[in-house]
Amino acid sequence: MSRPSSSLGALALAGLAAAVLATPVGAATKDPDGRYRGSLTADLAIDSGPVSFKVSRDGRRLSGWKATFTAVCNYDPYVMTVTVTLPTTTIKRDGRFRGAVRTTRDGKPLKLTVSGRLRGTRVTGGVIDYDIGSCTRKNPWTAKRTGR
């Protein structure tokens, strides 16, 4: 008497093992490349504004980061609309990134640092830290992928 049931069981087990081994390791992670849009999410409307950037195909470079917001300074009274761009920034393997720029706006020195973490197709923990003349603020920001 032959044992067809054990042969079928072995064949089914081999098929299951092949299916598991053929599944890509990063299959659960969404592909992060593309265009992103978001906003500064400050408590004050004056510090809020749009954010946009691109992530490279390999998910390792963030480029074209741009934010526009209105900065209000109480110490050295002035109101300034600021549009800031960052140079291309490297994204670490864990998704974290940090970029900085120093320039001048309306004759005042401007230092801006942007950081966050890319998780799938969203940015979490985004912070923009700016110093314009005597005004210093840290504001959170968020973004998500809007297209490729």
- Structure confidence at residue 21 (pLDDT): 40
Residue 127 near residue 141, CB atoms below 8 Å: yes
Phi–psi pair at 10, nearest 5 degrees: -65, -40
Task: Check which CATH number belongs to the domain holding 69 and give it.
Answer: 2.40.128
- Structure confidence at residue 16 (pLDDT): 40
Domain contains 9: no
- Structure confidence at residue 49 (pLDDT): 87
pLDDT average per 10 residues of sequence, the chain (148 residues)? 49 42 42 92 74 95 91 72 89 96 81 94 92 81 93
The tally of domains found in the chain comes to 1
Domain span holding position 134:
34-147
Alpha-carbon distance values, 106 to 78, 117, 126 (Å): 11, 31, 27
Listing DSSP states for 16-52 in one string gives: HHHHHHHS-TTTTSPP--EEEEEEE--SSGGG-EEEE
Domain contains 24: no
Domain contains 97: yes
- Structure confidence at residue 95 (pLDDT): 95
Phi–psi pair at 84, nearest 5 degrees: -120, 140
- Structure confidence at residue 18 (pLDDT): 43
Alpha-carbon distance values, 79 to 73, 108, 111, 133 (Å): 6, 12, 17, 12
Domain contains 12: no
Domain contains 75: yes
